[in-house]
Amino acid sequence: MTVAQSVAAILAFSVVLGWVRLLLWQRRAPASSRTRGWRLAALLALQPIAGLLLFSTLFPPASAGKATGTLVIATAGAPRFVTTGAGERLIALPEASGVVGAEHLPDLGTAVRRYPDAGALRIVGSGLEPRDQEANAGLAVRFEPARAPSGLIALQPPGPIAAGARFAVTARAGDLADGSAELLDPASRIVDTQPIGSTGEIALSGTVRAAGTTLFTLRLRDGSRARVEQAAVPVWVPASPSARVVILAGAPGPEVKYLRRWATDAGVAPQVRLGVGGGASLADTPPALTMAALAKVDAVILDDRAWDGLGTGGRQALAAAVRGGMGLVVRITAPVPRGWQVLGLSARGTADVAPVTLRADAPSDDALAARRGPGTRDAPASIAGARDTVPELTRQAVTIAGGMPVLRDIRGTVLAASRGSGRGRVALVSLQDSFALVTSGHGDVHAQLWSELVSAVARRQAGPAVQIEAPAFAGQRMAICGAGSLSVTDPGGRGGRALVDPATGAAGCAGYWPDVAGWHHVSGPAARPFYVYPADALQGLRAVDRRDGTLRLVGSGGRTSVGTVEDNRGPSWPWFIGWLLVAGLLWWLERARIGRGGVPVFEGQTEIASRDPY
């Protein structure tokens, strides 16, 4: 029972009790003392009138001109038959197809303007589209969400990546606890796969070897291996200038040899200097370790012997360069003395070495072959090692403290860690024989390892930062922030201007409405491509976005809540004044002598009047 119903019951009981008391007195009183008929009728009538006016004061009904109706809004995913009650009008938005008995309107704003007497909204289905989520005009909202969708319900494509680097794709699947997820390259070869657990979380990875744009595919399968859904995963590898790397070593060795080969294969022209003892060194072009020269270098890779042999001046120059944005990688090749550290990163341990087992780079032989590609003339894919033949490596048995892990082995042991120093970063790595990966036919693992490590610390290339809303869909507004007013070219070569919304302030976001799917290109200083999905793509993900957006709308308003609709009541003061007048009249009539039986008109006789409560 509601509060209003409880108050109404109490008032009705009070009126009935007053009637019973008045009638019992009238029946038991002598005939000469009974109240006149008209007075009794007035007392009986005024009591329920007073109770009704008091109830209307506490719970005023909607006054004339107030919004009293409810619009039932059918959205995508709404059932074919929607039940409506008294005072409710059924409206179907364009995404709700086949709703019986509904009036079809283009958007929520049109419905609100067409029916200004509506005081509330009842949303049925998966929720409002972004265009409608701010068109509720302050009305009370009730949301009856449809059943949670299955399949792909969240997807985070990778951001810009470097050529040859590994990229990550994260996603979430609904109602596929026994299924699996696969990542396919543009040639439809599986490069990664993962079973889907109870949480539905998915994390896959792949590699791209050349600059440009491409589309990978995320495919979901159920427990019977039947395909449930697949979605495009856009990947962009920007064409960037080659990194500038300096390699320093205290002595020649296979580790430096294959490190140099990796840098050359990656398109980097490294400057290498090798110590040969007695203060002599070998170098193609001796690198200058001055502030001016190091300002043009993106990363320096050296071992602990070279670091200690630089002297105070050389170490100070490198430290200053790191604070200016350069990256520094120091390889630990021998036991380190107590208290040894590099720019805040310390290593402590014993003189022993420990075994290292790296995680397989792909879930299957076919996936590994797809990641490796055709190979090169001097290293064809046919001579590459099998997936299960990754050799056991060694590391110096030290613990790196003061940084964030960058590389781990299959047991979770930290092989490399880094920390910030000014605008740059420094890393320590304890691997001693990563070259064995190359000599055993796993050069791809060696290249991936060093690419990840150097990329984690190398100098960041400065440039205009543009944030593009992803995923974007054809026919739906999207935001491009950080570049001001800009031009966008669609896949057909048509250009359009996107103007900044002043309301976005310092973010400088511009609105853009793509009308075709495919790769679009932002031009200007912040030039970059972005992918637009077809209007009917990623239905499960969009259903979740609609539901979450509608729930935020319901929860953000002071008058709105899920499952409740606030009454749109009129003012209570007219009912209060009416109650005061009726209560005053009732009070006067109960105490006045007019209409009392057997009561003399002069003041001396009051005995009978004193026994009459009315």
CB 207 within 8 A of CB 217: no
pLDDT for res 360 = 65
- pLDDT at position 556 is 60
What is the Rg, in whole angstroms, of the alpha carbon atoms belonging to the chain?
A: 40
Say if 570 falls within a structural domain: no
Predicted pLDDT of residue 455: 86
With respect to residue 434, please indicate whether it lies within any of the assigned structural domains. Answer: yes
Helix residue ranges, H only, 503-565: 539-556
> For position 368, what pLDDT does the model report?
61
Q: How confident is the model at residue 204, as a pLDDT? A: 92
Query: Is residue 217 one of the residues assigned to a domain?
Result: yes
CA distance 606 to 614: 14
CB 383 within 8 A of CB 441: yes
Same domain, 401 and 495: no
Count other C-beta atoms under 10 Å from residue 362's C-beta.
22
**Residue where a domain stops, chosen among 239, 274, 307:** 239
pLDDT < 70 regions, the chain: 1-2, 32-33, 62-68, 136-137, 276-286, 360-389, 462-464, 484, 556-570, 595-614
* E strands in 175-332: 180-184, 190-195, 201-207, 212-221, 227-237, 245-249, 271-277, 280-283, 299-303, 327-331
Residue 95 and residue 49 in one domain = no
**Residue 449 shares a structural domain with residue 479:** no
Q: How many domains does the chain have?
A: 5
Closest Cα partner for 497 from 524, 474, 470, 471?
Answer: 524
Tell me, yes or no, whether 108 lies in a domain. yes
**Chain centroid to CA 448:** 30
Q: What is the pLDDT of residue 425?
A: 93
Placement of tokens 């490294």 in the chain: 270
Same domain, 184 and 260: no
Could you tell me the pTM of the whole model?
0.69
- Is the Cα dihedral 259, 261, 266, 268 positive or negative? positive
* 180 and 142 together in one domain: no
Determine whether 461 is exposed, middle or buried from the number of CB atoms within 10 Å of its CB (0-12, 13-18, 19+). exposed
564 in any annotated domain: no
How far is residue 513's CA from residue 496's CA, in Å, rounded to a whole number?
A: 10
The answer on 337 and 272 residing in a single domain is: yes
pLDDT of residue 567: 47
Report the 10 Å Cβ neighbour count for 236: 20
What is the per-residue pLDDT for 589?
81
DSSP 134: T
- Sheet containing 212-221: which strands, arranged edge to edge? 190-195, 180-184, 212-221, 227-237
Q: How many residues does the chain have?
A: 614
Q: Which tokens sit at 131?
A: 């265009």
CA 440 to CA 451: how far, in whole Å?
Answer: 19
Is 571 part of any domain? no
For residue 315, how far is the Cα from the chain centroid?
A: 44
Final residue belonging to a domain, choices 11, 26, 61: 61
Asked if 67 and 119 count as a contact pair (C-beta separation under 8 A), the reply is yes
Three-class SS state of 184: strand
pLDDT value of position 529: 92
**Rounded to whole angstroms, what are the CA distances from 438 to 121, 267, 333, 475, 522?**
66, 18, 19, 50, 41
The whole-number pLDDT of residue 600 equals 46
Domain that holds residue 136: 69-147
Domain end marker among 120, 147, 174: 147
Q: What is the CATH number of the domain that holds 529?
A: 2.60.40
493 shares a domain with 400: no
pLDDT at site 474? 92
**For residue 471, cis peptide bond before it (omega within 30 degrees of 0):** yes
Q: Are the C-beta atoms of residues 520 and 529 closer than 8 Å to each other?
A: yes
Report if residue 593 sits inside a domain. no
End-to-end CA, the chain: 35
Say how far residue 546 (Cα) sits from the centre of its chain. Answer: 13
Within-domain flag for 539: no
Residue 508 and residue 446 in one domain: no
Q: Are strands 227-237 and 212-221 parallel, antiparallel or unpaired?
A: antiparallel
Is-contact 307 340, C-beta < 8 A?
no
Q: Which pLDDT score, from 0 to 100, does residue 3 have? A: 75
The verdict on 44 and 80 lying in the same domain is no
